[in-house]
Structure formats: C-alpha cells, structure tokens
Structure 1
Amino acid sequence: MRVCGCEISAKEVRLAVVHLNDDGNMEMLRPKTTRIELEDDTSEADLRSFLAALHEFSCENEIDTFVIKTRAKKGRMAGGAVSFKIETLIQLVEGCHTRFVSPVALSHFAKKEVEAYPDKLPVYLKNAFLSGAFALTRG
C-alpha cells in the first residue's frame, strides 16, 4: 500500500509518498513531483488542471490513499479558503481514498514513534512525511 502524506500551505500541496518495503519497514519514495500549486483558484481551467495533476501524480506513484494534515477552520490559525479548495480537489481524485490527521496527533506521533527521518528529507516535506507515516503505521 502506498500512502501520500499531504500538507496544504497557501496555494500549494506538498506531497510525500511512503510505503512498507518487503521487510515491513517504512520507506519514503522520491518522486519527481513534491509540490503542486494552484495558480488561480477562481479559474475553472486552473482547478481542473490542478485536479488532473493530482490524478496523474496518483497514477504515476500508485497512490492508494491521500492523508491530509488538517487545518483549523476558525480562529487566528485558520486555513484560507484556497487551502480548503485544494483539500476538496484532493478528495476528488479518482481511485484514491482520503484520510485526515490532526496536527496534535502528528506531533505526538513524531515525539513518541518516529525514531529517525529519511535521509535528505527536505524541511518543507516533514509534515507531509509525518502524515503519510502516521496513516501507514496506524492502518
């Protein structure tokens, strides 16, 4: 099973693909695409293009499930409207399931269960990796 952890930030989604290898150990794949940006959230063509890019990414990397790090809906730390459009587009990718994980659960998981991060993991993919790893180990 391949899981894609997602962190939505501003106008882009950051993607980290993880799976269990033959030995049952978690591995992070290194796909050529690690971010997809939504250029203009008011353009139907751009929305369709973003969805098509997500679908292509899921097919290329054989993704079974997208796991999204949730954002607050209200308050000072609330996600913006564009980020919720991106979240919806992820949920619409054909042939893939979508799950959500809270920042609190990710923080707890990182402190208690992640012994080491993959070599050369870019900082901007840390939360996406954690989201995928969380879903993979928690079934």
Structure 2
Amino acid sequence: MTDESCGCEISAQEVRLAVVDLDDEGKVEMLRPKTTRIELEDDTSEADLRSFMAALDEFARENEVGTFAIKTRAKKGRMAGGAVSFKIETLIQLTEGCHTRFVNPVALSNFAKKEVKEYPEKLPVYLKNAFLSGAYTLSKG
C-alpha cells in the first residue's frame, strides 16, 4: 500500500469513498476511482458482509489506499450513527493492509474553514465530507 488516503463518509447502508493524494507541490488532489460508494445490502447476511469486505479489499488494492479516514459519528443521542453504520465502520477497520484514522467532526469543520482554499473541480456533493476526511488525514499526518 502507498500514501494514498481514502476519506470515508458512512451514511445509512453505504460508505462514500474519496481517494486523495499529495501532488508534487504538496497540495491535496483528489483521484478519480471508478468506485465512489460501496453498499451493504443486508447487514444480517454473512454473505453480504463478506461481499462488502471483499469489495473494500479490492477497492483498497486497486487505488493503492494506505489509510482510511473516517469522520467520527456520535454513538448515542439524536445525531447518533445507526447499528449498520457501525458494522460498516468495523469492516473498514479490518481491511487488509490498511490503517484507519478517525477524524473529529469539529476538527474537520475547522480544517475546512481555515485550510481548504478550494475544492476539486466537479466534486460531487455526496463526496465532500469524504474528501475533507482524506485531505485532513494527509495534511495533519
């Protein structure tokens, strides 16, 4: 695996993925993999869990991902993540050959306001938080 970072935003039954790297000038650039979402069809099905895991492993290999960066979600309260999303989080953490870092939402918001001068051209709205998580991880080491 290499230095590519993959920002992850977990929403409902899917993970949204944005692969970022540093260009020759040290600026964050977003790569354009063909896969940007992986969905977990049925979290009670062992076959679906294994399929999701295999898709993550393949994604990490194809895109030379060294680190997955996940925006931290609340475990309880009104804004808490659901049980399925925490299963997805666990599967990301178990991806062979990759590290996982968690990014605090407040730190991510501050990073976006203070350090992100511009977003990549044609960045889909659904990948904005995933991009920020990956960029934060690369920038903050």
TM-score, with length taken from structure 1: 0.99
Match of 1:119 in 2: 121
1:68 has 2:70 as partner: yes
Give the match's secondary structure for 1:64. Answer: strand
Query: Structure 1: where are the runs of 5+ without partners?
Result: none
Could you list the per-position Cα deviations for residues 49-72 of structure 1 after superposition, in whole angstroms to 9, with x for gaps in the alignment? Answer: 000000000000000000000110
Percent identity between the aligned chains?
Answer: 81
Per-residue deviation, 1:26:
1.3
Query: Structure 2: where are the runs of 5+ without partners?
Result: none
Match of 2:55 in 1: 53
| Corresponding residue to 1:88 among 82, 87, 90 | 90
Per-residue deviation, 1:88:
0.1
Could you list the per-position Cα deviations for residues 64-88 of structure 1 after superposition, in whole angstroms to 9, with x for gaps in the alignment? Answer: 0000001100000000000000000
Q: Distance in 2 between matches of 1:103 and 1:47?
A: 27
Could you list the per-position Cα deviations for residues 14-40 of structure 1 after superposition, in whole angstroms to 9, with x for gaps in the alignment? Answer: 000000122222110000000000000
Match of 1:18 in 2: 20
Give the match's secondary structure for 1:112. Answer: helix
Give the match's secondary structure for 2:65. Answer: coil
Q: Distance in 1 between matches of 2:34 and 2:104?
A: 27
Write the letter of the residue equivalent to 1:134: Y
Q: Distance in 1 between matches of 2:27 and 2:100?
A: 23
1:3 has 2:5 as partner: yes
State how many pairs are aligned: 139
Match of 1:30 in 2: 32
Runs of 4+ in structure 1 displaced over 2 angstroms?
none
Give the match's secondary structure for 1:22. Answer: coil
